[in-house]
Amino acid sequence: MKKLWITLTYLVFIILLIIPLIRIFYGSWAEGWEGFIKALSRPQSLHALQMTGTIVVLVTLINTIFGVMLAIYLVRATWLGPRIKQFLNSLVDLPFAVSPVIGGLMIVLLLGPHTVIGSFFEDSGFKVVYALPGMVLATLFVTFPLMVREVMPVLQEIGSQQEEAASTLGAYSWYTFWKVTWPAIRWGVIYGVVLTVARSMGEFGAVLVVSGNIMNKTQTATTLVYQDVENFNVLAANSVALVLATISIALLLLMEWAKKRKGH
Amino acid sequence: MHIEVNQLNKHFGDFHAVNNVSFTIEKGRLIGLLGPSGGGKTSILRMLAGLETPDTGDIVFHGKRVNDLPPQERGIGFVFQNYALFKHMTVFDNIAFGLKVKKQPKDQIRERVMSLVELTGLKGFEHRYPHQLSGGQRQRVAFARALAPEPQLLLLDEPFAAIDAKIRQELRTWLKDMIERLGITSIFVTHDQDEAIEVADEIMIINKGRLEQKGTPWDIYKNPQTQFVASFIGESTIVSEVHKLKGFEDASSWAGTKALIRPEYIEVGKTSEFKIISATETGRIKHIHFRGSEWMVEVQVGDVTLITYRSLEKEVLHPGEEVNVLVHRAYLFNDTDSWIMENKLKEDPMPVHI
């Protein structure tokens, strides 16, 4: 009985994960190395990958700083009442509960060219929706819980006594953060960064709604794959997908390593 | 450092954690804050450190009000209950932390840390991490770390709570010697009366957020000023109808008065062991327990069970045996007053009414 279940698990694993991966690999190599390179060196491919790269870097940076900050406030701040903390805490999980497409839609409805805020930005020459800022915002919305949820339990676990000890020894908050808090939460943050990178690289729905998917302008790697599939350009779709999948696997390995270090 | 605290109050929500506490502490004294858990001792300590803000009241160090000073500026050392050592730093770096914050020159830091390492008997352990140390060693690292920036006041929160009994004894003596040698004003929190009596120059008894009594351990033992102090310090039995005991008949003139009798106020033994039999009660041994260095005896007198100790040198008593019981004195209290009453028959060798 046990053996049957183990076999079944492997079977599901192979059908759902391994076979598609192999398919992507073969699909991108259907015309050999040349076809793969050709598909990737199309201007729209290069632009889309670059776009994804930009979004990943910006989102990871912003999410790391604000995620760690919010985690610290939610765990440590005594000036926030318990009710407000509870409310903020449940708000953090909102992106987990809400579909990314709806997240993107909210941004369009709030900051689109026909809204008050949107037209204000537009008038001052700063386009939000159907441009990079909107796409970064949409990806931020989706990835926001990842960092907070990684760092909060670590902060709770180490408690505030080490920080209090540092304050009685004359250290102010910035010094205490870098010398006492940071070394304790470092691996949690790295784990959060890996998750954020992976998630923002693969984000599709929210970005699709916000970007309008304009080729060579607001197209990301994932939306390009979508478009290539729509155009029956399977080879190109496979090639871009392979690049994304390879990076994802590398990230997963990095994550495993970070997780192991976190335990120490 | 001379410390003065006036009318200190602290609430946590509806809970009145510290209630109108005032005291002064002379420079160089070692003070024990003693009381049951949740009584507000740690809150007082944390307010002195600046880790907690009082609702009302003043904290004055050296004649200067420090309420608005952050912990960084108060010149205190704090030893936490669980030591709160920096986990990712070696013993050396832990002790050096307060000196590095002050940006002292490296060789000076090294010198000071090494002298503290020597002083606390941690030589050879400088490069270990906290998780590689025993409880007692961690405690000493925490102590050295708190002392490194040369604080004027040392605050210790339950410093021995997390250490096993045998080493605790050693550390108590060690800490007392160390603090005496350094001459630093120190306050420690404990819920263990033996610890407070043994280590402190002066004890402050804290209960339900109030300061019940402040004085030397002997003072507090001899003249408890409230019922709580009397029952908290030492062991005791509460007797509600004390006028039924021989020698305490006068107690009946105060209605509603109860008595608190300590084991050491009671003598128990065979008739031949007493000089003045008339002052003794007869009782029956209920249980005896061997306590390592003496017997603990439960004796039934009328409808009261009294507890006392008996030397191992004396003849062994057995349960069920009839014995004489002499109550030397009792601590009497009622709703308004409390006082100590001696056994009046014991005072008078030839009582008239016999």
A80-134 per-position pLDDT tens digit = 888 888 898 899 999 989 999 999 999 999 888 888 888 888 888 888 888 999 9
Confidence of residue B147 (pLDDT cuts 50, 70, 90): very high
Distance from CA of B147 to the nearest CA of A (A): 9
User: Hey, are the CB atoms on B82 and A167 less than 8 Å from each other?
Assistant: no
Most confident of B17-21, B223-227, B248-252, B307-311: B17-21
Confidence of residue B282 (pLDDT cuts 50, 70, 90): confident
User: Hey, are the CB atoms on A162 and B102 less than 8 Å from each other?
Assistant: no
Distance from CA of A53 to the nearest CA of B (A): 34
Handedness of CA A194, A199, A201, A207 (dihedral sign): negative
Q: What is the number of CB-based contacts under 8 A between chain A and chain B?
A: 63
pLDDT at B100 over 90: yes
Task: Check CB contact of A183 with chain B, cutoff 8 Å.
Answer: yes
Q: Which residue of A has its CA nearest to B88?
A: A183
pLDDT at site B168: 83
- B135 class by beta-carbon count within 10 Å (0-12 exposed, 13-18 middle, 19+ buried): middle
B206-242 per-position pLDDT tens digit = 999 999 999 999 888 888 888 888 888 877 888 877 7
Predicted TM-score of the model (pTM): 0.80
User: Hey, are the CB atoms on A167 and B51 less than 8 Å from each other?
Assistant: yes
Looking at residue B138, what DSSP letter applies?
H
User: Hey, are the CB atoms on B71 and A179 less than 8 Å from each other?
Assistant: no
**Mean pLDDT, chain A, integer:** 90
Instruction: Please enumerate residues of B whose Cβ is less than 8 A from a Cβ of A.
Output: 49-51, 70-72, 74, 76-78, 80, 82, 84-88, 97-98, 101-102, 145-146, 148-149
B270-286 mean pLDDT: 82
**Structural fold of domain A15-263:** MetI-like fold (1.10.3720)
Q: Which two tokens stand for residue B115?
A: 């002298």
Task: Check CB contact of A262 with chain B, cutoff 8 Å.
Answer: no
Domain boundaries, chain A: 15-263
State how far the Cα of B220 lies from the Cα of B232, in Å rounded to an integer.
10
Task: Check CB contact of A171 with chain B, cutoff 8 Å.
Answer: yes
Backbone angles phi, psi at A255, to 5 degrees: -65, -45
User: Hey, are the CB atoms on A165 and B82 less than 8 Å from each other?
Assistant: no
State how far the Cα of A171 lies from the Cα of B99, in Å rounded to an integer.
10
pLDDT at B336 over 80: no
pLDDT at site B205: 94
**Mean pLDDT, chain B, integer:** 87
Looking at residue B223, what DSSP letter applies?
S
State how far the Cα of A63 lies from the Cα of A83, in Å rounded to an integer.
24
B289-308 per-position pLDDT tens digit = 888 888 888 888 888 888 88
Task: Check CB contact of A175 with chain B, cutoff 8 Å.
Answer: yes
